[in-house]
Amino acid sequence: MPRVLAGLPLIMPQSPAAALALPLLLLLVVVVVRPPPQTGARPSPGPDYLRRGWLRLLAEGEGCAPCRPEECATPRGCLAGQVHDACGCCWECANLEGQLCDLDPSAHFYGSCGEQLECRLDTGGDLSRGEVPEPLCACRSQRPLCGSDGRTYAQICRLQEAARARPEANLTVAHPGPCESGPQIVSRPYDIWNVTGQDVIFGCEVFAYPMASIEWRKDGLDIQLPGDDPHISVQFRGGPQRFEVTGWLQIQAVRPSDEGTYRCLARNALGQVEAPASLTVLTPDQLNSTGIPQLSSLHLLPEEEAESEEGEDYY
């Protein structure tokens, strides 16, 4: 068998006649059907590296020609750096984090991972649903870094990608660990209205390093909630992302006196931010007299409609 298929032992048929045609056909199916890997906001791996896979297959089928470096094309825009091609002659772009790679170092279909990356079987998928783990380039380090641009990078591979994407910015590692920053509100509380007796919840998600603390206040009250009010409760939890904390303010069985503006305040040693949201409380009578058609019970009211169309009338 040609060396090129060494990385795909599972689909090698026994019959010599089908030996070449079937694997190529299956490869085509695999390649066409496979969804593009998750790369977040980074440039699409695109058909380009699959095309390179095919070029590699064809080139290897013919064996390596004597190396003439002057005939090599110069790879451009390699965000994960450069690696030698299968023949050890020309340079080509290495694969980025999250792109497919060849687990078997002697195979060269998907190509090699770049600097600081290694090819690992991705067991993150749902194997119980029959998903097959895929070999993907993964960063060797998972430690966050602060870049010289003042931005936090999840790990060195992300920082290097950004540095290669904008060489003119001279991006370097400022120090290990996230950049220190005042809090930023990732998800703010939004304005709510409801009928007396219902429970309402405000939420507030904050990113900061060092970690922020969150407190809730109501305009006109000089206390930090909940104070001694038994129908108000406050809860915090770390996350959902690293260096984030999320806080909730719950008011049970709202009364008209609960109306007002509530504020999420987040602070750490470097700063403080706040986000206000208003609560409007309607009595059933007020609700009835609004003339909202077909509104006999709150439970029949679709939530989005209530908020987008009727909500604004009462602020």
Enumerate binding residues for ligand NAG (CB under 6 A).
168-170, 192-194, 198-199, 284-285, 288, 303, 306
CB of 299 to ligand NAG, least distance (A): 8
- Tell me whether residue 14 or residue 294 sits nearer to ligand NAG (CB atom): 294
Q: Which is nearer to ligand NAG, 199 or 312 (CB)?
A: 199
| CB of residue 35 to ligand NAG, shortest distance in Å | 36
Least separation, in Å, of the C-beta of 164 and ligand NAG?
A: 14
Residue 209 C-beta: closest distance to ligand NAG, Å: 24
70 vs 168 by CB, closer to ligand NAG: 168
Instruction: Work out how close the CB of 286 gets to ligand NAG at its nearest, in angstroms, rounded to a whole number.
Output: 9
42 within 8 A of 79, measured Cβ to Cβ: yes
Who's near 78: CB < 8 A, 6+ residues apart?
92, 93, 94, 114, 164
Instruction: Give the residue with the Cβ less far from ligand NAG, 199 or 313.
Output: 199
Would you say 2 or 197 has its CB closer to ligand NAG? 197
